[in-house]
């Protein structure tokens, strides 16, 4: 089983690795059968790196992302993200972990339809306990960075697909996360918008020193990453 790890020479393991996965397995029950989607996955990702995760549909890419982001509980193996053992983290602390450590960008922008672009961007900070003025200030700054300050007061229904995804990127960055998990972030966008969104994600990653793990089918998008991994039959291998 390959181990995907890299890091600066001389750094300790804790300093180097933002993701440390060992022997991770996960299965779904479907129509009375057990479907094993992840089997003995090993993965180490150092802080600040950019990793692309590819693989065919149904190979478990999104499941791995959900497990790394604390959206689901792993069934077997070791899973440590940003120093937190996610298999043993209680629910309340898991929610706090997601809020403070992870920035999610989903394939579907997943904005709250009743909130404006600014409110959507500020929402993650408010959930994180940041004061309203501070959350709004951060959201405005991020909307300015993604070029949407003039549309801050617009509801998602009045934004284009690319604009909505840029708001989602701003929301993902508002708590200055250590790890950005992006699940097909350009899957619903045309080439020009896809390019712009990925440029923004990379720019913000650099600015905040975050680690980026992108799940994608898009080989051109995967080629932008320093490391590309492939999930095949539940196992992780170098692409």
Cβ 3 to other proteins shortest distance, Å: 26
For strand 17-30 and strand 33-46, is the pairing parallel, antiparallel, or unpaired?
A: antiparallel
- With beta carbons less than 8 A apart as the criterion, state whether 175 and 128 touch: yes
Under 8 Å CB-to-CB from 19, ≥6 apart: which residues?
A: 43, 44, 45, 68, 80, 81, 179, 211, 213
Q: Quick check: 84 binds other proteins (CB under 8 A)?
A: no
Nearer to other proteins, 18 or 172 (CB): 172
Q: Quick check: 65 binds other proteins (CB under 8 A)?
A: yes
Which of the ranges 10-18, 41-49, 60-68, 193-201 carries the binding residues for other proteins, by CB under 8 A?
60-68
End-to-end distance of the chain based on CA atoms, in angstroms?
Answer: 14
Contact positions with other proteins (CB under 8 A) in 116-175: 119, 123-124, 126-129, 132, 171, 175
Nearer to other proteins, 46 or 172 (CB): 172
Judged by CB under 8 A, the residue of 47, 82, 86, 104 near other proteins is 104
Nearer to other proteins, 88 or 132 (CB): 132
- How many residues touch other proteins (CB under 8 A)? 36
Judged by CB under 8 A, the residue of 1, 35, 95, 144 near other proteins is 95
Which residues contact other proteins by CB under 8 A? Answer: 62-63, 65-66, 69-72, 91-92, 95-96, 98-100, 104, 106-108, 110-115, 119, 123-124, 126-129, 132, 171, 175, 183
């Amino acid at each position: 089983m390959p181990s995907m790890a890299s890091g600066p020479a001389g750094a300790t393991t804790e300093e180097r690795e933002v993701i440390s996965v060992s022997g991770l397995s996960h299965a779904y029950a479907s129509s009375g059968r057990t479907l094993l989607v992840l089997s003995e996955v090993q993965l180490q990702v150092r802080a600040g790196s950019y990793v692309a995760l590819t693989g065919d549909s149904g190979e478990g890419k999104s499941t791995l992302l959900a497990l790394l982001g604390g959206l689901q509980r792993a069934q077997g193996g070791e899973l440590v993200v940003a120093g937190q053992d996610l298999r043993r983290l209680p629910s309340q602390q898991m929610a706090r972990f997601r809020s403070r450590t992870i920035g999610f960008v989903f394939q579907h922008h997943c904005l709250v339809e009743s909130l404006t672009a600014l409110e959507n961007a500020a929402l993650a900070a408010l959930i994180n306990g940041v004061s309203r003025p501070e959350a709004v200030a951060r959201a405005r700054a991020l909307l300015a960075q993604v070029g949407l300050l003039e549309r801050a007061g617009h509801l998602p229904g009045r934004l284009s697909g690319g604009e909505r995804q840029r708001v989602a990127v701003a929301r993902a960055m508002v708590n200055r996360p250590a790890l950005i998990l992006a699940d097909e972030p350009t899957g619903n966008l045309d080439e020009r918008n896809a390019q712009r969104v990925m440029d923004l994600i990379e720019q913000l990653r650099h600015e905040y020193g975050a680690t980026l793990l992108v799940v994608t089918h898009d080989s051109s998008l995967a080629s932008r990453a320093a490391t590309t991994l492939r999930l095949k039959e539940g196992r992780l291998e170098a692409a």
